[in-house]
Amino acid sequence: MSASVARSTPPERHFSDSFTWGVSTAAYQIEGAFDQGGRGPSIWDVFSHTPGKTARGDNGDVACDHYNRWREDLELLRELGIGAYRFSVAWPRWSPAGNGRVNPEGCEFYDRLVDGLLDIGVAPWLCLYHWDLPQALQERGGWADRDVVERFSDHAASVMAVLGDRVEHVALLNEPNVVGLLGHLLGLHAPGLSDLDAYAAATHHLNLATGKTLDRLRREGRGWALGTILNLQPVLAQGDSEDDAAAAALLDAVWNGNHLDPLVSGRYPAATEALLERFVREGDLESVKRPLDWFGLNLYSQLRVAADPSSLVGLRLVEPPEEAETTAMGWEVAPEALSRQLKEAQARLGEVPIVVTENGAAYRDRPGPDLEVDDLRRTNYLERHVREVLSAREAGVDVRGYFVWSLLDNFEWHEGYARRFGLVYVDYPTQRRVPKRSFRWYQQLVRSGVIPRSEDVA
Ligand code: IFM
């Protein structure tokens, strides 16, 4: 064999062809067109239009204008070469008042999007709720009102009646823990409440909606792969004291346990049971404990916590150590958290396959003269996290896919547009899209199944 042939032997693949590579987005963060096509107002329209709620008063009115530019965005997906695209259906675009009355233009938009994805060979992964509750439902109590469980289940059935002939993978809720905590207790996200009862009620109703809707969609017998998505993070105690350990256990119960525990064991964590049980009716928890066809894990970082008797809840979040690398969100870069969380989730879920439905990093990207972005730090973040996926697989975790958050820079909720997560830079004034280094890195990974070194991709 000649030396040139020997040199051209491709490196051994890290991932086989059956592994799903994707990117994730969410309706409110990219669509814009808030008053186009019969869309109704969502809680995020109201929240982001309330002075002082978002950085610089940013809102999703225009966002990436994806509603009008989706064809161009599909071209990016094609160029990227991924097998799957996770997007969410905006409930107020589908049913403006959230009462089941369907908006034909909204339906048509998603109908065309799904067809467009299939035309380019990309599997649509549909998420039924990514935080944009119709404002009309909020006015009736939103997630804190038990009636929302039925409304969500009707909505899910309505969406799947139209799109379910072409969509196989369906995620029910995206990150209910963030909806509960940031939206109902910390007041940082829509609907902007800081109310312990509202938090407890919303937490339980989000869980109940998951269980009841799983049953409802399963009863249709259409063979959909039904899953749901949690944002989980390892919680580290700051010191060795018992108090710090107790603080970590409490935060773990609140952040990770309040949604994962009832799903897998039909119980709330001991630490939060008393708070939540006021909203639990007979039979509820049996309806929440459901086997999933797949579980979606969103992971970005890990949390550090210390006991703090002066705080209302007895604990405080601790900043990452000075030497730690952080992203523009202030989140610690801790790739090992991903393999750790994958192993823990698998141990809790049993045989359920896991998909990393979000992972990515925000930086304040500085574009060059032609708007090109050399985002080596993001590329490196992704490389290190994908290596952790590989190591979790080697350790026996059944990880079937990985989705980068996100395809495009977009509206990062109360942080607005300055925090960029995209593989593609969006110049908001012109809406020009420019793929970054991380895009090309991901493209190579997807094509070859081999993890490229971030420095090797220009
Ligand atoms: O942008 C969000 C997304 O909507 C939900 N998961 C976390 C991302 C980054 O904060």
**Is the pLDDT confidence value at 77 over 70?**
yes
Q: What is the pLDDT of residue 5?
A: 46
CATH number at 252 reads 3.20.20.80
**Do the Cβ atoms of 234 and 337 come closer than 8 Å?**
yes
pLDDT of residue 2: 41
Do the domain assignments include residue 205? Answer: yes
pTM of the model: 0.97
The per-residue pLDDT of the chain, averaged, comes to 97
What backbone torsions phi and psi does residue 9 show, to the nearest 5 degrees? -60, 125
The pLDDT tens digits of the residues spanning 103-141 come to 999 999 999 999 999 999 999 999 999 999 999 999 999
- Catalytic-role residue among 175, 383, 388, 412: 175
Side chain identity at residue 336, one-letter code: E
Residue 141 resides in a domain:
yes
Q: What share of the chain is helix, strand, coil (3-state, %, to 5)?
A: 45, 15, 40
Confidence label for 373 from pLDDT (cuts 50, 70 and 90): very high
Q: Is the pLDDT of residue 6 over 90?
A: no
Query: Tens digit of pLDDT for each residue in 157-198?
Result: 999 999 999 999 999 999 999 999 999 999 999 999 999 999
383 is catalytic: no
**413, 417, 423, 426: which to mutate for ligand 1, most atoms within 8 A of CB?**
413
pLDDT band at 324 (very low <50, low <70, confident <90, very high): very high
Domain span at 374 = 20-234+246-300+321-452
Tell me whether residue 277 is one of the annotated catalytic residues: no
Is pLDDT above 60 for 1? no
Q: Please give the C-alpha separations between residue 252 and each of 98, 113, 200, 263, 308, in angstroms, as whole numbers.
A: 33, 38, 16, 16, 16
State the pLDDT confidence band at 3, using cuts at 50, 70 and 90. very low
Residue 4 has pLDDT above 50, yes or no: no
Residue 149, Cβ density class (10 Å: 0-12 exposed, 13-18 middle, ≥19 buried): buried
Residue nearest to atom 4 of ligand 1 (CA): 26
pLDDT at residue 299, as a whole number: 98
**Given the structure tokens 């669509």, which residue do they identify?**
31
When pLDDT is averaged across residues 338-342 and rounded to a whole number, the result is 98
pLDDT value for 7? 60
DSSP 8-state assignment for residue 241: S
At 87 the pLDDT is: 99
For ligand 1, the distance from its centroid to the CA atom of residue 298, given in whole angstroms, is 9
Ligand 1 centroid, distance to 413 Cα (angstroms): 8
Nearest to 289 by CA among 264, 313, 307, 308: 264
Is residue 12 assigned to a domain? Answer: no
For residue 258, being part of any structural domain is answered with: yes
Residue 9 inside a domain? The answer is no
| Within a domain: 121 | yes
Query: Residue 241: inside a domain, yes or no?
Result: no
pLDDT band at 8 (very low <50, low <70, confident <90, very high): low
Among 87, 188, 232, 298, name the best residue to mutate to test ligand 1's pocket (greatest count of ligand atoms within 8 A of Cβ).
298
Q: How many domains does the chain have?
A: 1
Contacts of 344 (CB under 8 A, 6+ apart): 232, 234
pLDDT confidence band for 62 (50 / 70 / 90): very high
Ligand 1 centroid to Cα of residue 360, in Å, is 9
- Residue 364 belongs to some domain of the structure: yes
Instruction: State how far the Cα of 262 lies from the Cα of 351, in Å rounded to an integer.
Output: 17
Task: Summarize pLDDT for 274-301 with one digit per residue, the tens.
Answer: 999 999 999 999 999 999 999 999 999 9
Catalytic residue among 31, 332, 358, 383: 358
pLDDT of residue 12: 86
Cα 4 to averaged position of ligand 1 atoms, centre (Å): 46
pLDDT bracket for residue 11 (50, 70, 90): confident
